[in-house]
Amino acid sequence: MTDHYAVFGNPVAHSQSPRIHALFARQSGQDMRYEAILAPLDGFEQSVRGFITAGGCGANVTVPFKEAAFRLATQLTTRAKAAGAVNTLIFAEDAIVGDNTDGAGLVRDMQTNLGFSIIGKRVLLLGAGGAARGVVLPLLHEEPGSLVIANRSAGKAMKLVDSFTDDAHGILSCSEFSTLAGQSFDLVINATSAGLANAELPLPDGIFAPGCLAYEMLYGRETAFMRRAALAGARVADGLGMLVEQAAEAFYVWRGVRPDTVPVLRELRGA
């Protein structure tokens, strides 16, 4: 019997996930199908439970339902608890297991596709919302020399830092954008939504150290952050690799098979 998976979102028609998982399934010989499901804004839980009743084996979750999925799950992985959100659901006989593969996807994209090692690096994470929270623990596990979380509001950044105190080992700190002056970083990650509106972030000059990797979590567009980083001489990457790698991590969680992401990423880039 063909196993059934889906991604839930609203909107969701734009999602690349069905295409990505179809490519994964084809290359690994997995008998499965994957679809995009538009869940009503007030009907996420009902939609997921209906999918389970119909025989669904697992699901991905995208905006705006990641926190709702966190609440729906009856069991949470360590990385889901750290993220405070769920993007991957596993339907067991007596449980709905919530996981979060976003941070793992980010790290794997940097290490495998971009050849960038985080160990010992000075890392700046821009933003203190859900996207940032989802990658803090995986970044800490890579043992950077320092990790600064910067946000327009220092209070929000401080709250995020405080929630990871036990995992930080003294390398995690927070800052407002304005107080980054005089500091430079080997890795700068934009986890804000500024790129959606092509807005400039109020960042001081000099934050991109020589050889810096500037990573934009958004994909499919050149953002103001990416343009500024390129002008400063940084190496620039968008989040398409993260999208593919987090999908591969979810595929591995479901199927026990780790797909080859290189040809999939190449095909998406070509398209």
Annotated binding site: which residue ranges?
Answer: 15-17, 62, 87, 102, 127-131, 217, 219, 239, 246
CA distances from 97 to 35, 87, 103 (A): 20, 11, 18
Largest CA distance in the chain: 60
Q: How far is CA 240 from CA 90, 103, 156, 212, in A?
A: 24, 14, 27, 19
CA separation (Å) from 20 to 247, 248, 264? Answer: 7, 9, 7
Catalytic residue of the set 66, 121, 156, 159: 66
Tokens 């946000």 belong to which residue? 151
Binding residues for NADP(+): 127-131, 217, 239
Query: CA 107 to CA 94: how far, in whole Å?
Result: 32
Strand-strand pairing, 58-61 and 3-9? parallel
242, 105 in Cβ contact below 8 A? yes
Strand 172-176 and strand 146-151: pairing?
Answer: parallel
Residues annotated in a binding site for shikimate: 15-17, 62, 87, 102, 219, 246
Angle subtended at Cα 133 by Cα 130 and Cα 135, rounded to the nearest 5 degrees: 115
Active site residue 159: no
Nearest-angstrom CA–CA distance, 192 and 217? 8
The catalytic residue positions are 66
